Amino acid sequence: MKKTVLMLAALVSCATVHAGDSPRKLDVVGVSVSSLANPYFSALARGAQARAEEINPRVRVIVTSAEYDVPAQVREIERFVSERADLILIAASHSTALASALRRARDAGIPVVAVDVDTEGAEVMIQSDNRSAGESVCRYLAGRLNGKGNFIIQNGPQVSSVTDRVAGCRAALKDFPNIRLLTDTGDGLASPWGGSHLMEEHVQRFPQIDAIFAINDRQALGAETVAVRRGMRKLLIGGVDGSPEVEDALKRPGLIVVSAAQSPEEIGRRGVDSGLALRDGRGAERGRILLQTNLVTRDNVAKYQGWNAR
């Protein structure tokens, strides 16, 4: 991990120097995310725009939201090609279904950087270490249960960030033989409504639930709403994001006790630098680049430097 961070830091430094050579160095950036309704992706897009404007204050950053609609995201990619974007950042709605559209973009000379999820057709993928995030949150929850109890994993859209978090959680729970995993199926849609809907289903199916790992903070908040309404005062809930909403939740009485904090704005910024390095042939690192997450709990939230403070 340290080696990856150092290599990426060198890449960022190189991009900063080289980008200052010409005001036309970076004219158009295309950013397509799966859903701007999710504050995480809004923060990622802000980070990309801020970095692009540092390089060229006159840059045009086109931000679009597919709302998990693959054909819509294909059209967004085609728009970026027609606009002659200098680079494309994509948080894909599906890991493989966009491959042909992204290859056409690359054939047009536009570098493609995937952010948040693995994406076939991208040259670089910059994301959080999602497996580690899921593992650390579930290990924390298991510890809070003293290694014994009934556990639920609230699953979500089947993109790599989600499947990696679930895999990490399951790996952590293997070390706790007295914790019973009731289910890890269903799709909470990465949304508060989806988290609420899954929670209602789970409450009806299972008479005793002691802890829930939700694949993101939005689902965790939805699950908490239902649990509070049903008087589940001892339930423990964890998520992933470290979002401003969960930061606030950890500062008040409630059931959410932990989140693995991501750095979406940093991912967006690094995506721009990586795309420029690819375009200019400056030895950009290819493949998957993982950024660490850190646990935010009720014990350390007062010192947490959240998204808005970075």
What pLDDT is attached to residue 308? 63
Spell out the long-range contacts of 227-234 with Cβ–Cβ below 8 A and sequence spacing 24 or more: 227/199, 227/203, 227/255, 228/254, 228/255, 230/203, 232/203, 234/210
What pLDDT is attached to residue 2? 36
| DSSP assignment string, 11-46 | HHHHHHHHHTT-TTSS-EEEEEES-TTSHHHHHHHH
pLDDT tens track for 145-174: 999 999 999 999 988 899 999 999 999 999
Closest among 247, 279, 277, 276 to 260, alpha carbons compared: 247
The stretch 106-118 carries a mean pLDDT of: 94
What pLDDT is attached to residue 68? 87
Predicted structure pTM score: 0.86
Q: Confidence band (pLDDT; 50, 70, 90) for 287?
A: confident
What pLDDT is attached to residue 271? 96
Q: Which domains does the chain have, with CATH numbers?
A: 2-127+263-291 (3.40.50.2300), 130-262+298-303 (3.40.50.2300)
- Kindly tell me if the per-residue pLDDT of 12 is higher than 70: no
- Buried b or exposed e, range 85-118, using 16+ CB within 10 angstroms: bbbbbbbbbbbebbeebbeebbeeebbbbbbbbb
The mean pLDDT of the chain is 90
pLDDT tens track for 29-73: 999 998 898 899 999 999 999 999 999 999 999 999 998 899 999
State which H helix or E strand residue 257 sits in: strand 256-261
pLDDT tens track for 73-97: 999 999 999 999 999 999 998 889 9
Question: What residue type is 225 in one-letter code?
Answer: T
What pLDDT is attached to residue 154? 98
Q: Phi first, then psi: give them for residue 215, nearest 5 degrees.
A: -70, -15
What pLDDT is attached to residue 282? 77
Share of the chain above pLDDT 70, in %: 91
Q: Which residue has the higher pLDDT, 203 or 21?
A: 203
What pLDDT is attached to residue 307? 83
What pLDDT is attached to residue 69? 92
Q: Confidence band (pLDDT; 50, 70, 90) for 283?
A: low
> CB-based burial of residue 134 (10 Å sphere; 0-12 exposed, 13-18 middle, 19+ buried)?
buried
The stretch 131-148 carries a mean pLDDT of: 98
> What tokens were used for 91?
């948080």
pLDDT tens track for 225-280: 999 999 999 999 999 999 999 999 999 999 999 999 999 999 999 999 999 999 98
CB 7 within 8 A of CB 285: yes
